[in-house]
Amino acid sequence: MGYQEAYNKLEKYGQLHVLRYYEDLSGYEKEALLEQIENTDFEVLKQCENKAELNPRGKITPIEVMQLAQNDAKREEYTKIGLDAIKAGKVGAVLLAGGMGTRLGSDEPKGVYNIGLTKDVFIFQRLIENLMDVVRQADAWIPLYVMTSDKNHATTTDFFREKEYFGYNPDYVTFFMQDMAPASDYNGKVYMEEKYKMSTSPNGNGGWFLSMMKWGVVDKIKAAGVEWLNVFAVDNVLQRIADPCFVGATIATDSAVGAKVVKKNAPDEKVGAMCLEDGRPSIVEYYEMTQELMDAKDAKGEPAYNFGVILNYLFREKDLEEIAAKKLPLHIVEKKIPYLDEEGRPVKPESPNGYKFEQLVLDMIHELDSCLPYEVVRNYEFAPIKNKTGIDSVESARALCKENGIEL
Ligand code: UTP
């Protein structure tokens, strides 16, 4: 894109300040900035204006959950179905590792964080160890697709290579990068990170399948005959991946998607709760839980929205192609965004100073007709690391690892 075209595009979106330092830039920097302008979707920034009305919710009602006693009763049958699918190469796993992990406060990708005490135990290593349990059980490698972002791709891929994939078969590991979105101040003006670069942030975990398409990974998946994709978060160090019983239960109940859930610790716990929204499966976020929803009871007198999602979903590949053609809701999230001040000096803010724009994987659930919320034993499968200390932290995850006999 030439200068004039870039100027016109920025003018249209009220972002001309992006060219403020243009005359001071080297030829290479000028090119880089023009290319970034060409590839940036400024449309999202306009959404700041109607932030409050962005995602109106429908009528929330309870959804039936397959609880522990139910899936335990059919464990053998479901496990066999799941293992057969895995052995036939029909199940792949997608590790969402493109996030910035700002709450953890490390500049490195979250997966390279070492939770070990007497030895190295990296988050990526814990996940691979869990996946290996299933590889051994099924006696078959499970294709693993790892999503990174522009901010952490090189570090992540180098780390896997350096650690020899923690014993995983590299032929079954594919990396792909998610897209970035501009990050702005509270008025929707994009921040500058460098004089030749706008501030950007990964565009949320909802764009994973589109990015897989873009990177040619979906063609690879189809050629390999993978029919189900188990998408999961990097930060749960007890995450069970391609769990045969879960895979089997989703297939046996003919569900479009399976969602692992845990019983909530408290009605106001900060996890999204499974529900129906206008009769379709959905997730109500913790900050959307009204007192009425927290007090609601189901037919058995139990809390009606008592099961939280842990970002472990099993999608059918062919449905994902349909979802990819639709536009998922946009979420505007307050974040700390590094920027250049008025004098052009770099600033790393201590508290949130603007917005990033994200699409979320949980919104994909609502696009499907049916969902199997599948309860798992909380202390055995859910140890998220969001913070350094306190709730959902390195400390709490270490305690849960200890409870499960994992040496750290
Ligand atoms: P979080 O919502 O915890 O976000 O991600 P985060 O960016 O990792 O951490 P904070 O909020 O800045 O502290 C949940 C999962 O989604 C992935 C993360 O890597 C994690 O596995 N994710 C998140 C992406 O892959 N891309 C994104 O753009 C955002």
Looking at residue 292, what is its pLDDT? 93
Best residue among 124, 235, 334 to mutate for probing ligand 1's pocket (most ligand atoms within 8 Å of CB) is 235
pLDDT at 261: 98
Average pLDDT over residues 96-102: 92
Closest residue by CA, ligand 1 atom 4: 99
Using CA positions, which residue lies closest to atom 7 of ligand 1? 99
Distance of CA 133 to the CA centre of its chain: 23
Amino acid identity of residue 107, one-letter, is D
Residue nearest atom 1 of ligand 1, based on CA coordinates: 99
Q: In whole angstroms, give the CA distance from residue 206 to residue 222.
A: 21
Q: How far is the CA of 23 from the centre of ligand 1 (A)?
A: 36
Residue 103 banded pLDDT, cuts 50, 70, 90? confident
- The arithmetic mean of pLDDT across residues 276-283, rounded, is 96
Q: Where are the beta strands (DSSP E) in 77-221?
A: 91-96, 144-148, 173-177, 180-182, 192-194, 197-198, 200-202
Q: What is the pLDDT of residue 2?
A: 94
CA–CA gap between residue 287 and residue 266 (Å, rounded):
14
pLDDT of residue 204: 94
Instruction: Say what percent of the chain tops pLDDT 70.
Output: 100
Determine the Cα–Cα distance for residues 249 and 243; give it in Å rounded to an integer.
10
What was the pLDDT predicted at 52?
Answer: 79
The three-class DSSP label of residue 139 is coil
pLDDT single digits (tens) 165-199: 999 999 999 999 999 999 999 999 999 999 999 99
pLDDT at residue 362 is higher than 90: yes
Strands 91-96 vs 144-148: parallel, antiparallel or unpaired: parallel
- pLDDT at 49 > cutoff 90: no
Distance CA 282, CA 58 (A): 10
Ligand 1 atom 5: the closest Cα is on which residue?
A: 99
pLDDT given at position 300: 85
Task: State the Cα–Cα distance between residues 309 and 272, nearest whole angstrom.
Answer: 6
The confidence score (pLDDT) of residue 16 equals: 97
**pLDDT confidence of residue 70:** 96
Residue 256 CB neighbours (<10 A): 18
Asked if residue 250 lies in contact with residue 376, where contact means CB atoms within 8 angstroms, the answer is no
235 CA closest ligand 1 atom index = 21
What's the pLDDT score for residue 111? 97
Check residue 250 and report its DSSP letter: H
Alpha helices by DSSP H, listed for 139-239, are 153-162, 208-214, 217-224
- Mean pLDDT, all residues of the chain: 95
pLDDT of the residue at 119: 97
pLDDT digits (tens, 9 = 90+) for 284-337: 988 889 999 999 998 888 899 999 999 999 999 999 999 998 889 999 999 889
Q: How far is CA 200 from CA 14, 151, 190, 271, in A?
A: 17, 9, 9, 26
Residue-level pLDDT at 288: 87
Average the pLDDT over 333-357 and give the result: 92
Mutate to test the pocket of ligand 1, among 234, 309, 355 (most ligand atoms within 8 A of CB): 234
Q: Are 273 and 306 a contacting pair, CB within 8 Å?
A: yes
Per-residue pLDDT tens for 179-188? Answer: 999 999 999 9
Rounded Cα distance, 61 and 279, in Å: 8
pLDDT at site 327:
87
Mean pLDDT of 31-57: 90
Band (pLDDT 50/70/90 cuts) for residue 29 is very high
- Residue 102 CA to ligand 1 centre (angstroms): 9
Q: What is the pLDDT of residue 107?
A: 85
Quote the ligand 1 centre to 7 CA distance (angstroms): 33
- The C-alpha angle with vertex 89 and arms to 84 and 92, in degrees rounded to 5, equals 110
Closest ligand 1 atom to Cα of 387: 13
CA–CA gap between residue 217 and residue 226 (Å, rounded): 11
Whole-number Å distance, alpha carbon 293 to ligand 1 midpoint, is 26
Residue 53's pLDDT is what?
82
What's the whole-number mean pLDDT along residues 104-118? 94
| Burial of 99 (C-beta count, 10 Å sphere; 0-12/13-18/19+) | buried
Give pLDDT, residue 253.
97
Q: Does pLDDT of 96 surpass 90? A: yes
Mean pLDDT of 266-277: 94
Question: 309: which strand partners?
Answer: 261
- Residue 106 above 90 pLDDT? no
- Helices of type H across 51-122: 68-73, 75-87
Q: Alpha-carbon distance 134 to 243, whole Å?
A: 7
How much distance in Å is there from the Cα of 24 to the middle of ligand 1? 35
Q: Is a pLDDT exceeding 90 seen at residue 102?
A: no
Q: How many angstroms from the chain centroid is the CA of residue 177?
A: 13
Spell out the residues 6+ positions from residue 56 whose beta carbon is closer than 8 angstroms to its own: none
Using CB distances shorter than 6 Å, the residues near ligand 1 are 96-103, 110, 147, 178, 202-205, 233-235, 311, 386
Task: Please give the distance, rounded to the nearest whole angstrom, from the Cα atom of residue 204 to the centre of ligand 1.
Answer: 7
Distance 59 CA to ligand 1 centre (A): 28
156 touches 97 (CB < 8 A): yes
Distance of CA 143 from the midpoint of ligand 1 (Å): 22
Atom 25 in ligand 1: residue holding the nearest Cα: 98
How far apart are the CA of 191 and the centre of ligand 1, in A?
A: 21
Burial of 318 (0-12, 13-18, 19+ CB in 10 A): exposed
Mean pLDDT of 353-363: 94
